[in-house]
Chains A and B, each alone.
Chain A
Amino acid sequence: MTESVLAARDLARQFGGLKAVDGVSLELFAGEIHAVIGPNGAGKTTLINLLSGDLAPTAGSIRFAGHEIAGATPERIAQLGIGRSYQRVNVFAGFSAFENCRLAAQARLAHGLGLFRQARDVHVLNEAAAAALERVRFERSERIAETLSHGEQRQLEIAMTLATAPKALLLDEPLAGMGAEESERMTALIAELGRDHAVLLVEHDMDAVFRIAHTLTVMVDGKVLESGAPAAIRASAAVQEAYLGSDETAP
């Protein structure tokens, strides 16, 4: 058994009286796509926010690469090697796609604040940005981010995350709002990224999820209902009842 890259134990987050995430445990392994599915309000995005440090958990532990990171700041968690994308597109709107990725790559240069290095002279960053854009097959790298289509901005966001050279990727609904063709390409890309990253994928597109995920965790009301291989989840009566629904045909 290989050791997990990221392991969450009994993770909880409470908003007032609402237990958005309630005792969730899960593990991510290198080279594995772990999808988290569940109805709206199940706490999937909150879970990602806890893992990325955007929210501090009220209880529980998160181990990543030998560090306890529960409650650490987002910048520290990103520095350790967890990259995330957002449900709503979150890029530097006024920068070109290339500049977006170069800035992302800069985050991993551990050389103080960079006051004494002129940006255009740092070739490693240009190379890292170009490589990240290449990896997601992004072509219009000189375009200003806010003028890109929704699908392209999503692609760009993945490229930015890759430019920080993460070990684990947390992807929050990367297919949301995409057309069929774009969606197809993004699904293939995520499958490819899953080979050399530990990927946590939150997604509503069940077709895509069942196609590329190696492990599925089903969340309902902040709790893990069931976790296992896609075939086992598809066959589970509890999941059928709670989420997939009796008249909704499982893929």
Chain B
Amino acid sequence: MQAARERTMLLAAFALLALFPLLAGTFYLQLFAKIMIMAIFAMSLDLLVGYTGLVSFGHAAFFGIGAYALFVLSPQYAAASLYLSLPMAIGAAAVAAAVIGLLVLRASGVSFIMVTLAFAQMLFYYVIGSKTLGGSDGVYIYVKPSTTLFGWTPVSLDRPAGFYYLVLAALAATYLVLRFVTRSLFGHALLGIRSNESRMRALGFATTSYKLAAFVIAGAIAGLAGYLDATQFGFVSPDLLGWRLSGEVLMMVILGGMGTLYGSVLGAFVLVLLQDGLTDVTRHWLLPLGLFIILAVLLLPRGLGGLLRRAEKAHD
């Protein structure tokens, strides 16, 4: 019953997002595309934080790699092919996640948080020092990737609605993939690891392999989000690898409710809209935003997603 209602709500939300371009102007289309990109990013982190119990504070590293990958793959004044550059960007992020994962997964708990942060910061300073990657000034991508396939162009990413639909499709695909993953035997093992890793090992699970696979999947999807971000703004800077972004996305996951996937989407919407709305109202927007987050975490231990669930139960 509850599963059926959850599905109805998700389908309704998807329909609303699909119809949104009919109503909204360019500004809101771009804003919503940005939010959906953050939602993809947040869902990927939820696989680690919410399902596996791995609190990564360096997840932006893979977001940034996806973004810089598009820059590297784009000719200076021509378009890269979406069908080549997107899989390569995702692949680059996945490979980086496999290498970093092998190293950081030796740690757990607080040291895991610190070590993931350290690796992301290493990449951050590498990019700052790199001339080819534009250093601290960042780099521009002058032409958005082309969707032309055998002479046919299904949608132009230069049109706000065209790009919006690409992001919406990526959001839906990410949700479905992660839903499949979390409901698989693998996903159940991740939940076991989050609950009691030493017991899992005593039962015979090689838990490090499971954690590494989760880390790679999460990194790959974060790379997808970074690629889309670079496509949208045509500008890539070291901030995309930085700890601020890692913290923001962690906040979205916690605010939305860990271990639900859709909670992360909700968290992304609420956090970005709040940031946007509050900057319009006051210059001191960080203060009310901080208060809101503190209150939300205190009052809603299961996040906004948990609030929805509670409302549903009351309704029953």
A residues at B contact (CB < 8 Å): 52, 54, 73-75, 78-79, 83-84, 90-95, 102-104, 106-109, 113-120, 122, 125, 160, 164
Contacts and interface: CB of A to CB of B under 8 A. Distances in A.
Contact of B195 (A73, A93, A109): A93
Given A92-B196, A103-B189, A116-B184, A79 B202 contact: no
B204 A122 contact: no
B136 interface: no
> Top 8 A-B pairs ranked by shortest CB distance?
A114-B185, A78-B204, A107-B204, A107-B203, A115-B186, A92-B195, A74-B201, A79-B204
A113 B204 CA distance: 12
B207 A92 contact: no
Interface of B is mostly: helix
B126 interface: no
B199 A91 contact: yes
B180 A75 contact: no
B206 interface: yes
B238 interface: no
Interface of B: 180-181, 183-189, 191-192, 195-196, 198-207, 209-210, 213
A75 B213 contact: no
A119 B184 contact: yes
Contacts of B186: 113-115
A108 B203 CA distance: 9
Contacts of A92: 192, 195-196, 199
Given A116-B184, A118-B180, A118-B183, A94 B201 contact: no
B207 A75 contact: yes
Given A92-B195, A118-B183, A78 B202 contact: yes
25 contacts: A54-B198, A54-B202, A74-B198, A74-B202, A75-B205, A75-B207, A78-B202, A83-B203, A93-B196, A102-B188, A103-B192, A103-B203, A107-B204, A113-B185, A113-B209, A113-B210, A114-B186, A115-B184, A115-B213, A117-B184, A118-B180, A119-B187, A120-B183, A125-B185, A164-B203
B202 A52 contact: yes
B188 A119 contact: yes
A119 B204 contact: no
Given A90-B196, A95-B195, A113-B209, A160 B203 contact: yes
Given A90-B202, A93-B195, A113-B189, 11 more contacts: A73-B206, A74-B198, A75-B204, A75-B205, A78-B202, A78-B203, A103-B188, A106-B205, A107-B205, A119-B188, A160-B203
A117 B204 contact: no
B201 A75 contact: yes
Contact of B185 (A94, A109, A164): A109
B213 A113 contact: yes
A77 to B, nearest CB: 8
Contact of A106 (B189, B201, B202, B207): B189
